[in-house]
């Protein structure tokens, strides 16, 4: 079975919000109608977004680190938001594991948003239906697009390649390898939701510099230096 | 969580309606076995109409909770997995039974078709409907409670207390209403319903206090460390990713001070439990026809506060992600 997902590399995310804007642009222009934006140029702008980039500070000054943290629906493998939906509007696609909302069935009861621990479902204040990340289902399943473009808008937009996309059930996929080899982890594992999306931790690169790195141990001139001069050598003996 | 008045009225109104139906049938049962004096058909018919009105009122309130009320019929689809769906089925079923129960009494279709227990327990159509009604009432209490109790990461709600509180508090207010109704009619059931109302209120006091104590010392399983997956004690959010508010900041926060919460808690602990009990006792002592009505009204107002607090108290783990607007 296929389980499509994102893997977010916190090590390289610079918090530029390119994924947020490209997501909004793609999904507000699509078949499902616009995503509301109220007072966009005024005080208190508010609207529906599938993806948000948050910022955290870890540690205390001076040893702090800024962590930019993109967050969207994690397309859980055991999504608690799906069974609670009274209408069946929330569902998980059998073929690729993407969790979706059927906007024509949703009654806007908000129960699914209560049943998601991650706060990634947002009620559209104008259409009055629940909205959330679709993993750009209309791009990734569109076979008229060239293969390279059959990816979520955010993945294509990310300038630092912090967003990897693929099938986490295929052990050889880029995402599976990244999770396996770079310590990929899930959010709030305590609830057993089994999120498909994973995060790659920040890694500090420590450089260890030895004396030999600074001074080549096989430096021929160094070797020359340790020769003990007895006075009888000619230049032919010490150079070549 | 943000306490929405649509849901507060839904749960308190149908609770009172369910309790009233339980009271009516308890009255019928006791008079069938001749423990209390029999009542005229109109007592049950009008009582059922009152119960039905409360159930309809609750249903009407629930529509205000929906973004798309015109599609509400779809909500019956997923009864296999969703408690909300189950409630949506059981509530109209209960309405239908209460309606029939009232109509059968009104029309006088109360000829016993079988007599059990050596001539002491005549069974008629209203008795069968009443028994069915009791089952459906309990099913409705359980469905309503489970909507909240089944969300496991809303730890304040994820407990059997949620369901027993709904049962006892709804039953209490229904019996209070039955006592008020009897007092208004001037029949002799005031003391009978009043006694049951006090018993249900005391049971509710026990379970509600227990749930308050449980929630006061609750240890939340999620924290900022598990939320973003970084093992460090010193994590602060600097930006939640947008500069004003969003659905996530409106739906899951009550935006009230801890003092307000405390005030509401004290208020409902007084209005729901000791005050109505005192009023019922006083009414009994003075044989007052109006004090039971006051007792019901006071308790109902208290229950609105109680339900408000029930929602406000619940801390959703998503709130960890929405701490800092900037
Ligand atoms: S992240 Fe939330 S909305 Fe998405 S599948 Fe998981 S529980 Fe459902
Ligand atoms: S808001 Fe819509 S998708 Fe969510 S539970 Fe209600 S009907 Fe289902």
Per-residue model confidence as pLDDT tens digits over A209-235: 887 777 766 666 665 555 666 666 666
CA atoms within 13 A on the CB side of B283: 31
Domain boundaries, chain A: 4-200
A203-207, B156-160, B239-243, range with the lowest pLDDT: A203-207
Statement: residue B106 has pLDDT above 90: yes
**pLDDT for the residue B321:** 97
A117-151 pLDDT, tens digit per residue, is: 999 999 999 999 999 999 999 999 999 999 999 99
**pLDDT for the residue B325:** 85
**pLDDT for the residue A206:** 82
Chosen CATH of A4-200 out of 3.30.70.20, 3.90.870.10, 3.40.50.720, 3.30.565.10 = 3.30.70.20
A95-104, A140-149, A204-213, range with the lowest pLDDT: A204-213
Q: Which two tokens stand for residue A231?
A: 């006075």
Domain boundaries, chain B: 5-321
**pLDDT for the residue B116:** 84
Contacts of A121 in chain B (CB under 8 A): 247
**pLDDT for the residue B33:** 87
A150-193 pLDDT, tens digit per residue, is: 999 999 999 999 999 999 999 999 999 999 999 999 999 999 99
| Mean pLDDT, residues B106-128 | 88
CB B81 within 8 A of CB A84: yes
Rounded distance between C-alpha atoms, residue B90 and residue B86, angstroms = 6
Confidence tier at B120 by pLDDT (50, 70, 90): confident
Cβ-nearest to B67 among A54, A107, A186: A107
CB B295 within 8 A of CB B272: no
Radius of gyration of chain B (CA): 22
**pLDDT for the residue A136:** 96
- What percent of chain A clears pLDDT 70, i.e. is strictly above it? 90
Statement: residue B203 has pLDDT above 60: yes
Cβ-nearest to B229 among A114, A125, A187: A187
Contacts of A83 in chain B (CB under 8 A): 78, 81-82
Q: Which atom of ligand 2 is nearest to the CA of A110?
A: 1
Q: Which atom of ligand 1 is nearest to the CA of A90?
A: 8
A34-80 pLDDT, tens digit per residue, is: 999 999 999 999 999 999 999 999 999 899 999 999 999 999 999 99
- What percent of chain B clears pLDDT 90, i.e. is strictly above it? 90
**pLDDT for the residue B271:** 97
CA atoms within 13 A on the CB side of A55: 14
pTM of the model: 0.91
B286-314 pLDDT, tens digit per residue, is: 988 899 999 999 999 999 999 999 999 99
Contacts of B154 in chain A (CB under 8 A): 114
- Which of B209, B133, B146 lies closest to B174 in space, CA to CA? B133
| Mean pLDDT, residues B42-68 | 97
Provide the chain A residues 42-71 that lie in CB contact (below 8 A) with chain B.
43-49, 52-60, 66-67, 69, 71
Rounded distance between C-alpha atoms, residue A48 and residue A35, angstroms = 6
Residue A163 pairs in a beta bridge with A8
A107/B68 Cβ within 8 A? yes
What are the CA-CA distances from residue A179 to residues A2, A111, A190 (Å)?
16, 32, 19
- Superfamily of structural domain B5-321: Formate dehydrogenase/DMSO reductase domain (1.20.1630.10)
**pLDDT for the residue B121:** 85
Q: Is A89 in the pocket of ligand 2 (CB under 6 A)?
A: yes
| Mean pLDDT, residues B61-89 | 96
Statement: residue B151 has pLDDT above 70: yes
């Amino acid at each position: 079975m296929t389980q499509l997902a994102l893997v977010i590399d916190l090590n390289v995310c610079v918090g530029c919000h390119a994924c947020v804007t490209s997501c909004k642009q793609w999904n507000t222009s699509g078949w499902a109608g616009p995503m509301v934006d109220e007072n966009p140029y005024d005080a208190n702008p508010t609207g529906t977004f599938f993806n948000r980039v948050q910022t955290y500070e870890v540690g205390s000054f001076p040893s702090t680190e800024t962590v930019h943290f993109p967050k969207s629906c994690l397309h859980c493998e055991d999504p608690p938001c799906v069974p609670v939906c009274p209408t069946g509007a929330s569902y998980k696609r059998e073929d690729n594991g993407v969790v979706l909302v059927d906007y024509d069935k949703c009654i806007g009861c908000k129960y699914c948003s209560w049943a998601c621990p991650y706060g990634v479902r947002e009620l559209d204040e104008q259409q009055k239906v629940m909205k959330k990340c679709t993993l750009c289902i209309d791009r990734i399943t569109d076979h008229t697009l060239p293969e390279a473009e059959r990816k979520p808008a955010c993945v294509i937009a990310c300038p630092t390649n912090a967003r990897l996309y693929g099938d986490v059930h295929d052990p050889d996929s880029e995402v599976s390898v990244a999770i396996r080899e770079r310590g990929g982890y899930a959010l709030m594992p305590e609830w057993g939701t089994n999120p498909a999306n994973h995060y790659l931790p920040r890694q500090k690169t420590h450089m260890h510099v030895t004396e030999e790195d600074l001074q080549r141990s096989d430096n021929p001139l160094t070797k020359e230096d340790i020769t003990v001069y007895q006075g009888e050598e000619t230049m032919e003996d010490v150079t070549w | 969580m943000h306490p929405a008045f649509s849901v507060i009225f839904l749960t308190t109104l149908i609770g009172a309606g369910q309790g009233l139906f339980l009271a009516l049938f308890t009255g019928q049962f006791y008079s069938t076995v001749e423990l209390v004096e029999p009542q005229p058909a109109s007592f049950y018919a009008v009582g059922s109409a009152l119960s039905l009105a409360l159930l309809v009122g609750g249903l009407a309130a629930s529509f205000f909770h929906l973004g798309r009320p015109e599609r509400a019929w779809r909500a019956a689809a997923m009864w296999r997995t969703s408690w909300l769906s189950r409630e949506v089925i059981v509530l109209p079923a209960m309405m239908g039974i209460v309606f029939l129960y009232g109509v059968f009494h009104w029309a006088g279709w109360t000829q016993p078709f079988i007599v059990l227990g050596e001539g002491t327990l005549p069974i008629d159509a209203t008795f069968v409907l009443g028994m069915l009604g009791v089952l459906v009432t309990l099913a409705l209490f359980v469905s309503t409670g489970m909507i909240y109790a089944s969300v496991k990461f809303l730890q304040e709600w994820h407990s059997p207390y949620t369901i027993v509180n709904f049962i006892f508090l709804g039953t209490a207010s229904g019996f209070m209403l039955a006592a008020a109704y009897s007092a208004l009619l001037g029949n002799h059931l005031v003391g009978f319903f009043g006694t049951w109302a006090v018993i249900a209120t005391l049971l509710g006091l026990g379970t509600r206090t227990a749930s308050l104590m449980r929630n006061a010392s609750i240890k939340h399983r999620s924290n900022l460390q598990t939320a973003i997956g970084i093992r460090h004690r010193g994590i602060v959010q600097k930006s939640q990713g947008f500069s004003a508010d969003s659905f996530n900041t409106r739906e899951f926060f009550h935006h009230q001070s801890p003092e307000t919460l405390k005030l509401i808690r004290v208020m409902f602990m007084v209005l729901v439990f000791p005050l109505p009990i005192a009023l019922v006792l006083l009414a009994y002592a003075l044989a007052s026809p109006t004090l039971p009505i006051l007792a019901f009204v006071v308790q109902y107002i208290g229950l609105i506060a109680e339900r408000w607090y029930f929602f406000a108290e619940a801390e959703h783990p998503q709130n960890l992600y929405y701490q800092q607007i900037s």
